[in-house]
């Protein structure tokens, strides 16, 4: 019956069922069936606790407390009333709150005789009574209050309550309250010495008491009436009433005893009941705790899930963000790589364009220069013609510009690789000095060369690039100096392994360079405007110098003061190798200008070039045959023999490489010198594979052409031609 029922959704008792149980318990109590009242209210309590219904819990406690009260177990009654009151206070039901307070007031005032506490409970009960606007409930409490005050002889305070019950007696008074009401009036008027009035009230109370069931009230009425009669001096009647009081009380005590005796069986079990109620409460507490715990677990779970969801959400967002960024990056990368490709293509196109244009320019320029020279040679009277010299100057200027642009272009494309050649540094510098002596004279400058004797005679390095650096710097010095000195200093500063670090200083005492221009002049096409000096430059010289020095892993520095002069300084590490040097020294230069008549075949499609080359060849006493295509060359070689072939590379239909290849196929070993506007590096591989023996870059120095021709013919004769 009292099994440990756990809370499961479907088995939960309904409010209705519990209310029925509570009512049942109240019925048992009114029938004085205490045991059943206990069992039923305890069951109601257990079920009310399981569904956590404060009102029904309070009501069950009230029934338990009332049962104890009926069994004179006031302590326990107070205990359960108070417990119930806690639950009742949680509800909005003022009726039950009123009942709890009223009952507690009863016990405190009339059983425990603690009037202060009791009165407080009554007053609280009254507050709730007024709230529920149920004057019948209020009526009883007001009556109780009046009685409590009168009992303690506090008639003034009790009067207002008496007035209230007198006012409402016809409406709310019934047989159960009328005895007490009349008795209280009797007491009041007795106190006020209105004996007649008092007497009639007491007599009415006794009359009603005898008619009804309110035997306790009847007994008290006799007692109080006896006291009034005593006061009135009517001792006989007073005695008679006291006898009646005692008799009724004795009867009632008897029946109470009987009741107690009846309840004894119950009493024995009272503690057991209490213990069981405690167990119910304990279980409920445990359930509550576990409910709390599971609530905490659920809350924690929810929080963790929330955090987890947030985490997943942020991961998801992050992932999406990354994905988006990644795809953006991929797109950007693609765009970049296409842009890069485009830029590369553009740059390739640009350099191709520059290289094609410059090559194309070099060929006609070569013609212009050649023809100018021819004109000067043939018509000595024109030597002083300003037009001709201006033509020659312009052609040279154009050629140098074209060469400079080509070179810068090549450096920027990283197409220049330094060569390692053995050379004599002193010779090289002096050669430069000599070749520039003409410009030096023009400006009345003198060039002084100062070479450290510690520098070995022969060094290994790219002498061509080195010369170019030096030529640029010295010719600048010459251009910007008048009546001055230009010093070329070479100084050995250190030797590391075989590397000889030589510091070069090109010093002039010319116009100088302003400080603010000293950085700029190394940029491409930068020239500093100089009104006083009329010179032609491309603005590329120093940028070529700077870039060439970078190839040598070197940098250039400059010191200059306006009006005082300029010094450019740089250091180059040249290799020094005795074995190479010795072999070079042993390779004696042979002068082959024997005046012997050699036969030269010139293969060139350009009429002007044909003319220029022919003139040069014939001027040096060689016999020259000219053909204008590769095919004609092959044809003529069928019948005629030549000592050397000068082969133009750029020819339509069959270029110089192809022609040479075919010549070699025929088994003709005649040395072939390629004449081209291309740079040596660009074509040397193909030239070698085609069977070309040497390459001359247009425009070439006549002496170089003669020297090359002679060397090759000499090698053929020696049998050393490779
Ligand atoms: P350019 O081919 O026009 O000479 P450069 O790049 O060689 O171009 O020189 C750039 C500028 O630097 C020149 O225009 C000139 O003003 C200045 N410059 C170069 N060398 C000297 C020097 N030794 N003295 C004075 N000015 C110089």
Using CA atoms, how far apart are residues 157 and 144, in angstroms rounded to an integer?
13
Burial class (CB in 10 A: 0-12, 13-18, 19+), 38: buried
| Angle at 116 (CA atoms; ends 114, 119), nearest 5 degrees | 105
In short, whether 95's Cβ falls inside 6 Å of ligand 1 is no
Q: Which atom of ligand 1 is nearest to the CA of 565?
A: 24
The model's pTM? 0.44
Whether 574 and 462 have beta carbons less than 8 Å apart is answered as no
Element (H, E) at 573: strand 565-574
In short, whether 158's Cβ falls inside 6 Å of ligand 1 is no
| DSSP one-letter string for 438-500 | HHHHHTT-EEEEEE-TTS-SEEEE-HHHHHHHHHHHHHHHHHT-SS-EEEEEEEEEEEETTEE
CA of 469 to the centre of ligand 1 (A): 13
Give strand pairing partners of 490: 451, 504
Which residues 6+ apart lie within 8 Å of 285 measured at CB?
none
**Helices 34-51 and 235-378, packing angle to 10 deg:** 10
In short, whether 471's Cβ falls inside 6 Å of ligand 1 is no
In short, whether 566's Cβ falls inside 6 Å of ligand 1 is yes
Whether the CA torsion 427, 429, 430, 432 is positive or negative: it is positive
Give strand pairing partners of 494: 501
Q: Which atom of ligand 1 is nearest to the CA of 530?
A: 16
**What is the percentage of the chain residues whose pLDDT exceeds 90?**
29
pLDDT at 589: 43
In short, whether 510's Cβ falls inside 6 Å of ligand 1 is yes
CA of 63 to the centre of ligand 1 (A): 121
In short, whether 25's Cβ falls inside 6 Å of ligand 1 is no
Using CA atoms, how far apart are residues 706 and 721, in angstroms rounded to an integer?
17
Using CA atoms, how far apart are residues 476 and 547, in angstroms rounded to an integer?
17
Whether 564 and 571 have beta carbons less than 8 Å apart is answered as no
Q: Which atom of ligand 1 is nearest to the CA of 544?
A: 6
Return the residue whose CA atom lies nearest to atom 18 of ligand 1. 476
Using CA atoms, how far apart are residues 231 and 116, in angstroms rounded to an integer?
29
CA of 563 to the centre of ligand 1 (A): 14
Give the single-character DSSP code of 575. B
In short, whether 709's Cβ falls inside 6 Å of ligand 1 is no
Mutating to test ligand 1, I would choose from 476, 518, 546 the residue with most ligand atoms within 8 A of its C-beta, which is 476
pLDDT at 642: 92
SS (H, E, C) 342-357: HHHHHHHHHHHHHHHH
Mutating to test ligand 1, I would choose from 396, 469, 506, 527 the residue with most ligand atoms within 8 A of its C-beta, which is 527
In short, whether 537's Cβ falls inside 6 Å of ligand 1 is yes
pLDDT at 272: 56
Report residue 432: phi and psi, to 5°. Answer: -65, -45
In short, whether 487's Cβ falls inside 6 Å of ligand 1 is no
Q: Which atom of ligand 1 is nearest to the CA of 522?
A: 6
Residues present in the chain in total: 722
Give the single-character DSSP code of 570. E
Using CA atoms, how far apart are residues 285 and 278, in angstroms rounded to an integer?
10
Contacts within 8 Å (CB) and 24+ apart, 708-713: 708/673, 709/598, 709/600, 709/622, 709/643, 709/644, 709/673, 710/592, 710/593, 711/592, 712/644, 712/671, 712/673, 713/592, 713/598, 713/643, 713/644, 713/671
pLDDT at 280 over 50: yes
In short, whether 477's Cβ falls inside 6 Å of ligand 1 is yes
In short, whether 511's Cβ falls inside 6 Å of ligand 1 is yes
What is the 3-state composition of the chain as percent helix, strand, coil, each rounded to the nearest 5? 70, 10, 20
Give strand pairing partners of 552: none
pLDDT at 583: 62
pLDDT at 7: 37
pLDDT digits (tens, 9 = 90+) for 426-466: 888 888 887 787 778 888 899 999 999 889 878 888 888 89
In short, whether 47's Cβ falls inside 6 Å of ligand 1 is no
In short, whether 411's Cβ falls inside 6 Å of ligand 1 is no
CA of 542 to the centre of ligand 1 (A): 7
Structure tokens belonging to residue 676: 């081209």
What average pLDDT does the chain have? 83
CA of 3 to the centre of ligand 1 (A): 114
CA of 369 to the centre of ligand 1 (A): 25
Name the least confident of 266-270, 378-382, 630-634, 637-641.
266-270
pLDDT at 9: 42
pLDDT at 50 over 90: no
CA of 373 to the centre of ligand 1 (A): 29
pLDDT digits (tens, 9 = 90+) for 461-504: 888 889 889 988 998 999 889 999 999 999 999 999 889 999 99
In short, whether 476's Cβ falls inside 6 Å of ligand 1 is yes
CA of 336 to the centre of ligand 1 (A): 39
Show the domains of the chain with their CATH numbers. 416-586 (3.30.565.10), 599-718 (3.40.50.2300)
Whether 205 and 172 have beta carbons less than 8 Å apart is answered as no
pLDDT digits (tens, 9 = 90+) for 291-320: 777 778 888 888 888 888 899 988 888 888
Region 512-529: mean pLDDT is 82
């Amino acid at each position: 019956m009292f099994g440990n029922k756990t809370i499961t959704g479907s088995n939960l008792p309904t409010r209705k069922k519990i209310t029925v149980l509570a009512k049942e318990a109240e019925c048992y109590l009114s029938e004085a069936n205490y045991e059943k009242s206990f069992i039923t209210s305890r069951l109601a309590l257990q079920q009310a606790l399981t569904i956590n219904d404060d009102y029904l819990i309070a009501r069950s406690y009230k029934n338990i407390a009332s049962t104890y009260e009926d069994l004179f177990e006031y302590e326990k009654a107070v205990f359960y009333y108070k417990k119930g009151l806690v639950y009742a206070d949680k509800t909005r039901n003022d009726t039950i709150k009123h009942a709890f307070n009223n009952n507690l007031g009863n016990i405190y005032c009339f059983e425990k005789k603690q009037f202060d506490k009791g009165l407080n409970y009554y007053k609280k009960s009254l507050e709730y009574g007024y709230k529920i606007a149920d004057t019948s409930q209020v009526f009883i409490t007001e009556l109780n209050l009046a009685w409590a005050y009168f009992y303690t002889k506090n008639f003034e305070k009790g009067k207002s309550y008496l007035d209230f019950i007198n006012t409402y007696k016809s409406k709310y008074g019934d047989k159960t309250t009328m005895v007490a009401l009349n008795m209280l009036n009797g007491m009041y008027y007795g106190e006020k010495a209105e004996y007649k009035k008092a007497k009639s009230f007491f007599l009415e109370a006794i009359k009603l008491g005898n008619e009804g069931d309110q035997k306790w009230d009847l007994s008290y009425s006799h007692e109080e009436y006896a006291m009034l009669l005593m006061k009135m001096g009517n001792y006989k009647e007073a005695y008679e009433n006291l006898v009646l009081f005692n008799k009724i009380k004795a009867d009632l005590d008897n029946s109470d005893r009987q009741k107690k005796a009846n309840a004894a069986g119950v009493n024995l079990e009272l503690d057991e009941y209490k213990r069981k109620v405690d167990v119910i409460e304990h279980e409920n507490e445990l359930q509550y705790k576990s409910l709390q715990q599971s609530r905490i677990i659920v809350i924690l779970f929810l929080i963790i899930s929330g955090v987890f969801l947030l985490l997943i959400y942020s991961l998801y967002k992050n992932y999406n963000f990354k994905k988006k960024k990644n795809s953006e990056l991929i797109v950007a990368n693609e765009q970049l790589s296409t842009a890069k490709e485009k830029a590369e293509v553009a740059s390739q196109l640009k350099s191709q364009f520059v290289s094609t244009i410059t090559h194309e320019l070099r060929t006609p320029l070569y013609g212009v220069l050649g023809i100018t020279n021819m004109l000067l040679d043939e018509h000595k009277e024109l030597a002083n013609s300003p037009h001709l010299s201006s033509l020659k100057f312009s052609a040279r200027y154009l050629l140098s510009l074209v060469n400079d642009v080509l070179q810068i272009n090549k450096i920027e494309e990283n197409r220049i690789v330094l060569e390692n050649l053995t050379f004599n540094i002193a010779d090289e510098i002096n050669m430069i000095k000599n070749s520039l002596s003409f410009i030096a004279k023009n400006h009345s400058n003198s060039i002084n060369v100062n070479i450290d004797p510690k520098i070995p005679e022969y060094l290994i390095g790219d002498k061509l690039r080195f010369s170019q650096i030096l030529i640029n710097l010295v010719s600048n010095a010459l251009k910007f100096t008048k009546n001055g000195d230009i010093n070329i200093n070479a100084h050995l500063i250190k030797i590391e392994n075989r590397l000889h670090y030589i510091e070069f200083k090109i010093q002039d005492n010319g116009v100088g360079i302003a400080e603010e221009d000293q950085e700029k002049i190394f940029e491409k096409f930068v020239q500093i405007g100089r009104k006083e000096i009329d010179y032609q430059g491309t603005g590329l010289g120093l940028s070529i110098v700077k870039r060439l020095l970078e190839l040598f892993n070197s940098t250039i520095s400059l010191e200059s003061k306006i009006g005082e002069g300029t010094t450019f300084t740089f250091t180059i590490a040249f290799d020094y190798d005795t074995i190479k040097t010795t072999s070079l020294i042993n390779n004696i230069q042979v002068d082959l200008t024997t005046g012997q008549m050699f036969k030269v075949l010139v293969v060139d499609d350009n009429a002007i070039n044909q003319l220029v080359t022919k003139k040069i060849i014939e001027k040096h006493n060689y016999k020259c045959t000219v053909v204008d295509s590769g095919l004609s060359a092959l044809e003529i070689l069928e019948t005629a023999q030549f000592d050397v072939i000068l082969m133009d590379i750029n020819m339509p239909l069959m270029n110089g490489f192809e022609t040479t290849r075919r010549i070699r196929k025929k088994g003709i070993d005649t040395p072939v010198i390629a004449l081209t506007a291309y740079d040596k590096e660009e074509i040397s591989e193909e030239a070698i594979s085609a069977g070309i023996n040497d390459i001359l870059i247009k425009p070439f120095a006549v002496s170089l052409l003669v020297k090359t021709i002679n060397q090759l013919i000499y090698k053929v004769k020696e049998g050393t031609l490779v």
